[in-house]
Amino acid sequence: MDLSSDFYENRKLENLVENQTSYTLNNAALHIFETHEQAERVLLQFDKPVLASMIRGKKIMHLRDLQSFNFLPGESLILPSNEMMCIDFPEAHMNNPTRCLAMAISEDKISKVLEHMNEYMPKADEAEWSLMDYNFHFTNDIGIYQILQRLIFLFTEDHPSKDLFVDNMLEELIIRILQTNSRKIYTNESFKLSSNNRLAFIVEYIRSNLQNPLSVKSLSKKACMSESNFYRVFKNELGISPTDFINNERIKLAVSLLQNPDKSIKEIYQECGFESRSYFNRVFKRRKKIAPGDYQSRLNVRV
């Protein structure tokens, strides 16, 4: 992510560790933190739920109930209100500062978005959307990345309507984060949840049958839902269509199989359930920015 020219023109560098530049609007506050020297065990806490997202450099995060982990550019972290963070800055330098944004969002704003989602984007099995109350660490997808980039611009520009602009972007951000969280839960815990959750059952079925033909029609029947309702609920909860989810899982499997230099591309795409090599190549290249044959060749060269 890039910081706007307005930020650099107006910020004051007063502290070498976690120098804070803040912008406050009706329903959210954006804080940009910069650290220009190595430091350890720096404490930070917010009284509202916070989205933290790395811009530059590296932090080591120490949070309750979690093992310490590296926090890197392109990654975000959702923190509940009053969560104490303990942070190390192993690489910060005057000429190479660590930068991170923290977006504190009012709980009233979050509640209104959740009400809207529960009314217009209902989950399967009458479950309700709610804000996760634990630390959720994830890699930004392109949608979340673009929203964060836009929010940096909106907060730092001088525009009379920026409260309205930011409010609209916050709604999309909250929805996308909750869908990302659902996707992670269903992917990581599908087997455990599958006995009493229809979407978890479907996710587990997909992952166990990637080599077989999978269609929205057949999956909706297994979920005991109409095709249209199944497609809508699946996309509302996971933020992705069933077909895209299936292809993502097949590409994950393909990446694993490509580690084996003795497997042919034909064997791999058939084991992953793709009907043709051309479609496999197209989907793989769209997601990995490289053809599967070239990917396998690069792995063999490294070995």
**Which residues are CB-contacts of 220 (< 8 A; sequence separation ≥ 6)?**
226, 227, 229, 230, 231
| b/e burial code for range 240-277 (CB count within 10 A of at least 16 → b) | bebeebbbebbbebbbebbeeeeeebeebbeebbbeee
Give, for all 303 residues of the chain, the pLDDT tens digit.
888 788 887 888 888 999 999 999 999 999 999 999 999 999 999 988 899 999 999 999 999 877 899 999 999 999 988 899 999 999 999 999 999 999 999 999 999 999 999 999 988 888 899 887 678 899 999 999 999 999 999 999 889 999 999 999 999 999 999 999 998 888 887 767 766 788 999 999 999 999 999 999 999 999 999 999 999 999 999 999 999 999 999 999 999 999 998 899 999 999 999 999 999 999 999 999 999 999 988 877 654
Q: What CA–CA distance (Å, rounded) separates 77 from 79?
A: 6
CA-based nearest residue to 35, from 58, 66, 5:
58
> Global pTM?
0.84
**Which residues are CB-contacts of 168 (< 8 A; sequence separation ≥ 6)?**
none
Q: What is the DSSP letter of 94?
A: T
Helical segments of 27-161, H only: 107-120, 142-156
Asked if residues 144 and 176 have their Cβ atoms less than 8 Å apart, the reply is yes
Hey, what domains does the chain have and what are their CATH numbers? Answer: 5-181 (2.60.120.280), 194-303 (1.10.10.60)
- Helix (H) or strand (E) segment spanning residue 23: strand 19-24
